[in-house]
Structure formats: structure tokens, C-alpha cells
Amino acid sequence: MPGPGPESHPEPFTSPAAALSNDPMTTFQPVLLEAVGVAGSYTLASYRSRGGYAPLERLLKEKQPTDVIELVKASGLRGRGGAGFPTGLKWTFLPKDHPGPIYLCINADESEPGTFNNRILMEDDPHQVIEGIILSAYATRATTAYIYLRYEYPQSWDRLQGAIDEAYAAGLLGKNIQGSGFSLDLHLHRGAAAYICGEETGLIESLEGKRAWPRIKPPFPAIEGLFRKPTVVNNIETMACVAQIARRGVDWFRSIGVPSDPNNPRDPGSYGPKLYCLSGHVERPGCYEAPLGITARQLIDGQGGGVWKGRKAKAVIPGGISMGLLTEAELDTPLDFAGPGKVGCLGLGTAAVVVIDETVSIVDFLHNSCRFFAHESCGQCTPCREGTAWSLRMLERIRAGKGRLKDLDLLAEIGNTMGMMPGSTICGLADGAAWPIKNAIKKFRGEFEDYIKRTNPSGWMVTDPVPALPIVGAH
């Protein structure tokens, strides 16, 4: 996956929220990615030269942990890992009178296809992440923090470990940080190289040295998490945002993005900057920072330079393949926490935007998606284990020229009946597997039907059960 080069710093552009609300902030400059391209940006000296750790030192002297929680709550920061839950509110779920220890787990597994924004932060500006971790640990009264790092990120490991060592040497980690009386130990833990490790309770199980099987909830991690103690799980980008809120303030953060919908009391708004991964059939793939609320079309045509080779987009994944698909007609959808859901997607997810051009078969896309989730399902829940496997088998049969129109209805039924939201699985992996199936068949049914009729002209109308394809390598 291409990493960010100089093009990863987009030119200033009009914030969608600012344009709608006449906000005085009419241009946007990257802050989360300000260190990209700076020589030695991953060192403590470089981070200090950009004002790093000064907010931490000030807050440790002037504020109580509850003050930091209120600061983050007031900012409207929502978790950047996929679910978009309000970060400050999540911290308040910890028991107030617990004697400890309390743990902070940082999810750096980043296994959603098309996603690489955490890698950019960890490799180019790890101290920004560490400052956010220290502030978050102080707010939640955590005395031990773990960064659970994707196994396939060796350079991230080296950069993070080097930054952690520098922070210890400078008195920013360890006992009695900066004479504040607050202590924090930060450990780097290499992940188990599985998609399911990104689910927060699967991550906790893996940290404990066990198979990464998600836990039944309740109890939730805030009550009983790592080592059966209260635990907060946050994402790398969320930690970077905490550091920026401490540096630049609540008003700055809330001036960016999309305000809450006054007609929807359940919408807390989409505030702050966001890192968008852009890949696939686009001229300039990379990691770009923009206000929440930029549309998919603005991102692709502006930062991405348009669809490659002069072609047109057929579909766009808005935030990792588990979110489903946008059609070309839906590319003006805002990429905030509410936008993708209004056009039938699961949500914003990781904001990993993947462009699919007009030459790609949606049948092939869905086959790849089903193959991925069938491989990554942990197998603990029957609907997910069997649903992902049978979806893949049906797609393999369709691609082998033995598909039936009835298969589309069966695939849609599988998509509608497995997942945490229908209440049939422990975690959301099955929902992520189901959404591309539901989206693809609903939005591109004509293409599926044409493919089935063209490749199976004598059998596409069959409704009786048909034998499965033989398994390759079986005797």
C-alpha cells in the first residue's frame, strides 16, 4: 500500500462545515500529519520543537483527571477506530471508586483492508501518539498502558519503541512524571496477526496470551477488561486527537467537521480532523488529512487527483470493506460518522476509501470480500462461521459459471441474519462481512443477474438445491 509522500499534505480547502455554517475558519491545514516529510520527525527533539509535550506538562500541573475528561467530552471527539463512540463519555464508564489497577489499551492492530493511517502516525510522529496516551491515562487513572501493534508493522515497532525509550529517559514515562505524582508504564505488544484481534475484547484476550476470541458482553471492558480489571480501549488516531485537543483547545477542535443534527438527538456530531486513506484506482493514493464531512467525490477528485487512467468510478468503499459500497451516484455523501449510513453503508469505519473503476466486476469484488471474512472469522459463533463460509462457496460457484438467480436471494438472507445487530453473534465481524453482501446485491443486482445468466445460460433459473463445488485438493 503506498505510503504518504509530499502529496499527503493536501492544499488548504474550504471546510464543508464552515461553508454551511459561515464559520470564520474557511481553510484547513493538517495538524495530525504536520510531521510527515520532516527530517527526524519521529524523534523527541523534533516533537519538542513543534510544541510537543508542553500541553502535557501544563495539564499535569494545573488540571485534575476529571478536568481532562471534561475537556475531551466538551471537544466532541469520537473514537477513530471504527465505531465512532464519544471518547470522553467512554472514559466515564470506569468505576469511580475502583482501587485499581486500571488499564489503558491502545488498538494499533489496523487490519481493516485499505487502512494505513495509524501506521503513518506511528512511524512519522510517534511522540504525538505517546503524548495522547499519557494524557488519556492520566484522565482515566490508568497506571499501565499497552500498545497492541499489528504484527506486520516492523518499522512501526522500531519507531514506537525508540520513542518510548526516549520518553522514559526524559521523565515523561515511569514514576512521578514531571514531578506530578502521576506514574505510567507503557508497553509495546506485538499482535497475533489476525483481523479479529482488532475487536476490543479479542485484543484483550490476545494481550492475556490467549486465543483472540471476543468476549460476551456485559461485562464491558470498562468494568471487567484486561486481567479482569477496568480497562479503556482506544485507537491510535484517537490518541493523536487527544494530544491536539490539549494543544489547540476545544474551540479549535469543534470548529472543524460537521455539527450535530438538531433534529436528531442521537447524533453527537462529527468534529475535528480525520485521516482518510485513499487507495485503489486513483491517481494519487495516500493518507490525507481533512475535516470530517468532506465528500467522497471531493476527496477522490481533489486530494486523489481523480480516478486513474481517465476512467470512471463504478463504486467506492467509504471506510474499509466491512462498511459496504457507495455507487458513483452516491459519491457526494459526506464522509462523517452519519453520512455513509444514510446511503445504506454500515458507517464511516476507518475512513479507508478504496476506489473501484468501471472495468472491475462487482462479482469479483464480492468474492474477494467473502474470501477475506471467511478466512478471518474466529469461528466462535455459528452464524458467522457458517455464514461467511457458505457465502464464499456460493460466490465461488457463481464465478465458476454455475450460479442461479436464487443464489442472490440466499446471499441476501445470509447477510440479513448474521451479525451482532440481528443479535446472533458476539462481535461485529459478521456485520462487517454481511454489509458488502447486502450492499453489492442491492445496488448492483443487475450486474449480478447479467453475469449469472451469461455464464450459466442453461441453469440460471434452477431453484432446486444444487451440489456444491468440489473442494480443491480433496481426495
**What pLDDT is attached to residue 263?**
87
User: pLDDT of 377-415, one tens digit each?
Assistant: 999 999 999 999 999 999 999 999 999 999 999 999 999
Residue 13 has pLDDT above 50, yes or no: no
Mean pLDDT across the chain: 92
Confidence of residue 27 (pLDDT cuts 50, 70, 90): confident
User: pLDDT of 299-355, one tens digit each?
Assistant: 999 999 999 999 999 999 999 999 999 999 999 999 999 999 999 999 999 999 999
User: pLDDT of 154-186, one tens digit each?
Assistant: 999 999 999 999 999 999 999 999 999 999 999
Contact 148, 207 (CB under 8 A): yes
Residue with grid cell 497506571, as numbered in its chain? 143
**What pLDDT is attached to residue 3?**
37
Nearest to 198 by CA among 247, 149, 250: 149
Residue 19 has pLDDT above 50, yes or no: no
Q: How would you class 349 by CB atoms within 10 Å of its CB: exposed for 0-12, middle for 13-18, buried for 19 or more?
A: buried
Q: Which residues of 197-219 are buried (b: 16+ CB within 10 A; e: fewer)?
A: bbbbbbbbbbbeeeebbbbeeee
Confidence of residue 471 (pLDDT cuts 50, 70, 90): low
User: pLDDT of 208-261, one tens digit each?
Assistant: 999 999 999 999 999 999 999 999 999 999 999 999 999 999 999 999 999 998
Residue 98 has pLDDT above 80, yes or no: yes
Nearest to 259 by CA among 84, 23, 89, 83: 23
d(CA 472, CA 474): 6
What is the mean predicted confidence (pLDDT) over 53-71? Answer: 96
Pairing between strand 352-357 and 313-317? antiparallel
Identify which has the larger pLDDT, 328 or 28: 328
**What pLDDT is attached to residue 473?**
55
Residue with grid cell 502535557, as numbered in its chain? 56
d(CA 17, CA 273): 12
Q: How would you class 100 by CB atoms within 10 Å of its CB: exposed for 0-12, middle for 13-18, buried for 19 or more?
A: exposed
**What pLDDT is attached to residue 5?**
38
Confidence of residue 17 (pLDDT cuts 50, 70, 90): very low
In the chain the domains, ranked by start, together with CATH numbers, are 29-255 (3.40.50.11540), 270-357 (3.10.20.600), 362-455 (1.20.1440.230)
Write down how long the chain is. 475
Rg (CA), the chain: 23
**What pLDDT is attached to residue 1?**
35
d(CA 69, CA 284): 38
Residue 30 has pLDDT above 50, yes or no: yes
Confidence of residue 425 (pLDDT cuts 50, 70, 90): very high
Contact 308, 282 (CB under 8 A): yes
Per cent of the chain over pLDDT 70 is: 93
Cα 418 → chain centroid: 21
Bridge partners (DSSP) listed for residue 218: none
